[in-house]
């Protein structure tokens, strides 16, 4: 059984990696493929380009057996729709291999707003990563779908290529890519929020640094004396 975990990964951090590892171990997944998106459909475009996000992801999982960076979405032009990614995976892996799509609890709550959600369930299982104590979806139709498809044991997922829903509690780490980008833009340390090699790559590329504020010209101003550029927040 193969896990698929898509996202901007702008940048990848320990919240992503810990959740992927816990789902892999809980379900006995052969591997979890982490797929950085190319063109975001319903959110702001990533600050770092795809090539850099892929390299950061590769560095993050380099010594983690079972976690793999997958560039298939970066190779495909246009919006990164999950159903297209799953269709591509199916064509590559065949119709019988169980696929498990890892999704966050908040994303699952809006699942019926996704592009072709029932086709997604026809192509893969859903592994919903829930925070401890989180509630079931409020939407009645989605609750009914969950109860109809809910798997009670990992073997239920192994028995079919797709169509079931698994609820997996994962360790709650209060980390977000937005928080990391804002820390870097403000000149604060983001260490211990993401792997050191990823942080070093991000800082080296300067992709999350806020643009320098143009100096104001005055009779007393020395254009060479402004040693520290002002910083602000990037887009979420």
pLDDT digits (tens, 9 = 90+) for 77-87: 888 899 999 99
| Integer Cα distance of 217 and 176 in angstroms | 38
Query: CA distances (Å), 11 to each of 21, 35, 210, in order?
Result: 17, 12, 16
* 133 in a structural domain: yes
The CATH number of the domain holding residue 21 is 3.40.50.620
Q: What is the pLDDT of residue 221?
A: 33
Q: What is the mean pLDDT of the chain?
A: 89
Asked, for residue 232, whether it belongs to a domain, the answer is: no
128 occurs within a structural domain:
yes
Vertex 132 angle, CA 131 and 134, to 5°? 70
Any domain includes 59: yes
CB atoms within 10 A of CB 56: 27
Q: What's the number of domains the chain is made of?
A: 1
Range of the domain at 47: 2-169
Q: Is residue 20 part of a domain?
A: yes
Q: Is 228 part of a structural domain of the chain?
A: no
Q: Among residues 167, 163, 183, 169, which one has the least CA distance to residue 122?
A: 163
- Cα–Cα distance for residue pair 112/106, rounded to 1 Å: 12
- Residue 163 pLDDT class (50, 70, 90 cuts): very high
Q: Please name the residue that has the structure tokens 């993401």.
A: 194
User: What percent of the chain lies above the pLDDT cut of 90?
Assistant: 81
Amino acid 145: pLDDT? 96
- pLDDT of res. 134: 80
Give residue-wise pLDDT tens across range 192-216: 999 999 999 999 999 999 886 654 4
In a domain, 182, yes or no: no
227 domain residue, yes or no: no
């Amino acid at each position: 059984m193969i896990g698929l975990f898509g996202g901007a990964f702008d940048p990848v951090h320990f919240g992503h990696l810990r959740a992927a590892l816990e789902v892999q171990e809980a379900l006995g997944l052969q591997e979890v493929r982490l797929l950085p998106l190319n063109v975001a459909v319903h959110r702001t475009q990533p600050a770092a380009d795809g090539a850099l996000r892929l390299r950061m992801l590769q560095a993050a999982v380099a010594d983690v057996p079972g976690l793999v960076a997958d560039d298939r979405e970066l190779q495909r032009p246009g919006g990164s729709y999950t159903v297209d990614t799953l269709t591509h995976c199916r064509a590559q892996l065949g119709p019988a291999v169980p696929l498990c799509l890892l999704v966050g609890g908040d994303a699952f709550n809006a699942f019926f707003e996704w592009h072709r959600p029932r086709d997604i369930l026809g192509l893969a299982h859903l592994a919903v990563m829930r925070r401890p104590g989180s509630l079931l979806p409020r939407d009645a139709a989605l609750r009914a779908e969950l109860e109809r498809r809910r798997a009670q044991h990992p073997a239920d997922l192994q028995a079919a290529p797709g169509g079931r829903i698994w609820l997996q509690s994962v360790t709650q780490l209060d980390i977000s890519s937005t928080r990391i980008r804002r820390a870097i833009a403000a000149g604060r340390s983001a260490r211990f929020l993401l792997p050191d090699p990823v942080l070093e790559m991000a800082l080296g590329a300067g992709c999350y640094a806020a643009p320098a504020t143009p100096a104001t010209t005055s009779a007393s101003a020395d254009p060479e004396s402004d040693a520290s550029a002002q910083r602000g927040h990037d887009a979420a």
